[in-house]
Amino acid sequence: MKNKLSLLFPDKELDFKKISDITFHDIGMDAIVKKLSRKENEQTYIYNVMKLMSDDARNAGYRSDVFNDILENKKMRDDITELFDRINFLRDYGSFKHDRDHEPGIWDLLHRLDELKDYVECIEALNNCLSGVELLSDGMQRLRDYVTKLYSDNALEDLKKDISMLRASTSNLKSVTVGINLNERFEAAGIGLISVNDRAFTKSSIVSNFVDRISKSDNIHKGTDWNGEYRFNEFSVRQTPMTTNDVVIPALSPIAMMSVRYVPEGDDSVRGVTSYMDQITNRMLSQTVRHLRDILNRYTILTITDITDLMPEFIYYIRWAEYIEGLIARGFRLCKPVALDAPMPDGKSMSAKGIYNLKLLEEKSVMPSDIVVNDLSFSEEQNLYVLTGANRGGKTTITQTVGQLFFMAQAGIYVTGESFEYVPVDLIFTHFPADEDKTLDLGRLGEECKRFRQIYSDASKNSLILLNETFSTTSFEEGYYIAKDCIKAVLKKGARTIYNTHMHKLAADIDEINSDSSEAKAASLIVVSDAGKRSYEVRVAPPVGMSYAGDIAEKYGVTYELLTKQ
């Protein structure tokens, strides 16, 4: 393929930005990705793919469609999974990448022949996986068309025939007869090829007294012509001299040969013999070797990597499909997201119904009836939310949820909820409370200001900004005025934002804040509290009371009850 097929990156020219590790953690996705696979390399691949974000709706829609095909076709998914072990060699290109290191001998070429046979079988198996399946996504349809074309292509048929012929030819190579010349000290002075045979040698009785073999005159063969005998005495010899009582015994000397031992397959001691066998069989089978090389060189131009490079992408979708399928089986509502090129006719750039935080499902005991769902939207009139409510009422949870929705939807994965329509964001930024050890130099307020300044500088109109209790570590008066200016600046930039805070006055002054903005507007979002009971439900409404001081005191444990409680 001139334009290499990808199930994750259909447009190679598309510009991607990388989400920070801090944001990845803040929205709770690091813990979830670890649940997808026990294999660290798979976790790393999924993590690295999801960190790359683009506000291109076509890219998000392409991924979403591919994921939907893989999720909806479990048998196809399972069949492809079974292929993974068979095609692992292709990911490293087998012996193909070693050609530059040395001129391959027949043993290398025979190994390559087996690899190409596996390649053909994998193409056939993949073709069977994709055939007869209703595929709706552009990515999976393109893959099926490519595999079908490759499968039915004349070159592949020729390859199958050539492999069959060559395997029939080389399968006749069963044994090689060599002769060893000895000098006057009975040391090996030379070794040569006698014949290449189509029959394997068979063991005679256990090395029957080697000395008898050479001491009796009737056991010494006349001349050097081979008599056609296929019985043999099996032994192996160290490639370095032996020492017995400080006497050096040359390798291949009769005494050394009497030191018979079993050599496991792959032992270093047989490498010299294997190298020699390479040379003599190449000479004897030069015509076959040349033919084999010509054929294999012809087929190395096949786009093997086009298939093998798709395997990690399949793993990405399959691991997510297994995870989402498990949640659906438990009764939780998840949906396919819909990416939009532009806001909806009513001006909304996000419309989410029945949404909830994915982290709530980490406990296996959690039931669908335990989850409180919410509806939320972004529009020009509600482009920035100041979210207030009681402490531990779910403000951070809903803030994380919005980040998860965009993050997973743009990665192509189903999201929590009944429906999710959105205009993609170019990047997600989070400003959550920092660890104490990160605030020692600047102090907590200084650290918060520095981080917010960087976020504001890096963000664009198409970004998503999630602020969690930003500027609440200083006095109310200081925090309020800093936060108010920051909100005005964000409104001017136009980035979709959720700012959850205990500063209820900030939400109460929304009209004043909006007076300075001609386009994007802020709105007050509250966590509903019914007679002091936390419902975890959010609603667009004015803030309830001015209880920021009480909430902050409760959060940090400085109420009378909490201070005096044992």
Q: How much is the pLDDT for 107?
A: 62
Q: How much is the pLDDT for 211?
A: 47
Q: 134 exposed, middle or buried (CB, 10 Å; 0-12, 13-18, 19+)?
A: exposed
CA–CA dist 310, 303 (Å, integer):
12
Name the DSSP letter for residue 352: E
Q: How much is the pLDDT for 106?
A: 58
Residue 318: C-alpha distances to residues 38, 42, 82, 228, 321 (Å): 14, 11, 12, 58, 5
> What angle, rounded to 10 degrees, do the helices at 286-299 and 106-130 form?
40
Q: How much is the pLDDT for 186?
A: 66
Nearby residues of 397 by Cβ (< 8 Å), 6 or more positions away:
357, 359, 360, 536
Residue 326 gets the label, from left (phi > 0), alpha (psi -120 to 50) or beta, of: alpha
pLDDT averaged over consecutive 10-residue blocks of the chain (566 residues)?
80 93 95 93 95 97 98 93 71 49 59 72 85 93 89 70 67 69 70 69 52 52 62 44 45 40 44 56 58 62 65 94 96 98 96 96 88 95 93 87 98 98 98 61 75 94 95 80 92 96 91 88 89 74 69 68 72
> What angle, rounded to 10 degrees, do the helices at 40-50 and 29-36 form?
140
* Per-residue pLDDT tens over the stretch 546-556: 554 565 666 66
Q: How much is the pLDDT for 355?
A: 97
Backbone angles phi, psi at 445, to 5 degrees: -65, -40
Q: How much is the pLDDT for 243?
A: 46
CA–CA dist 442, 456 (Å, integer):
19
Q: How much is the pLDDT for 193?
A: 62
Mind listing the domains of the chain with CATH numbers? 56-171+293-312 (no CATH), 175-268 (no CATH), 337-564 (3.40.50.300)
Q: How much is the pLDDT for 459?
A: 97
Query: How do beta strands 428-431 and 464-468 pair?
Result: parallel
Per-residue tokens: 21 = 């590790």
CA–CA dist 552, 36 (Å, integer):
37
Q: How much is the pLDDT for 272?
A: 55
Residue-wise DSSP of 292-337: HHHHHHHHTTS-HHHHHTHHHHHHHHHHHHHHHHHHHHTT--EE--
